[in-house]
Structure 1
């Protein structure tokens, strides 16, 4: 059974293979992932199969509420006034879906020390995955024009979702 472990810069080649397969229409440069690992390693996980191959990943980090970074952008820092835990991406190769691995990953991220102190988590749902995220407690929210503009970068079906976290 594949297992989640910390993501490291050494995983970038495998991560890019997964990202390019899953998100061909939403490309992000390797520098973006290296940047997130460097800035917030506690929010980055790799899914490794029994043969040691990367078959999924997760990227998450704090942001200011409803102010996610633009697609394919490098961050200078995690904002000192971050008040929201952002799940940037949970990507799993198609052959491994339906096994509860994404739900396990999200539960692990949101229960981690990294997410402690945040009362809300958010994410951008793409590819019609809103129902999946809904089963994990995320709900759509009304967004302002700035966030709506960012969502358009992710495609016509992109929806911003939030989940109230258990008292931290």
Structure 2
């Protein structure tokens, strides 16, 4: 689980304070409480990653993801309570890396890990913010039509937020062309 200057590992509750520092640097306009991140780690630990610097061992990035019901992402800064038993879609809540660690393959490595988990679901979705849709499209994500309810929810993620989705290549062990 390694980029060129940092390594991905499982995120733990002990990482949350450091995660909040990274989040406030990368997403200053989209703050979330530490309880939100702690809950995601507790509910779906395999979808939560920490990027740590090789030398300092400091947290320099993170990824948060979990299953949801189809195209029903949670509101920003909201607690889930539990993962819905009927969750059939994988949701990438956040992939945040400090700018100095960009361009070293760290995001690509995180996506490889997350997409391995995501293959258990029919599709993966995310809310693209800050004009990052081109980045996500490199991994096969495409724009999706959203209803008025989802459009309203996306406003909580900022005026430029758009919903993207990617179909899984395999599902239930059957290759999907």
- Per the normalisation by structure 1, the TM-score is 0.96
Equivalent of residue 27 in structure 1, options 31, 37, 47: 31
SS at match of 1:79: coil
Q: Gaps (5+ residues) in structure 1? A: none
Q: Does 1:154 align with 2:157?
A: yes
Q: 2:10 corresponds to which residue? A: 6
Residue number in structure 2 paired with 1:80: 85
The 4+ residue runs of structure 1 with deviation greater than 3 A are none
Q: Displacement, 1:116?
A: 4.1
Q: Pairwise CA RMSD of aligned residues?
A: 0.8
2:96 corresponds to: 91
1:65 aligns with 2:48: no
Summarize the alignment of residues 44-59 of structure 1 with structure 2, pairs less than 5 Å apart: 44-50=48-54, 51-59=56-64
Is residue 2:134 matched to residue 1:101? no
What residue is the counterpart of 1:129 in the other structure?
132
Compare 34-43 and 115-124 and name the one that shifted more.
115-124
Structure 2 runs not aligned, ≥5 long: 172-177
The residue number in structure 2 matching 1:111 is 116
Compute the TM-score of the two structures, normalised by the length of structure 2. 0.92
- How many aligned residue pairs are there? 166
Contact 2:119–2:169 (CA under 8 A) maintained in structure 1:
no
Deviation at 1:98, TM superposition (A): 1.4
Structure 2 distance, partners of 1:144, 1:103, is 31
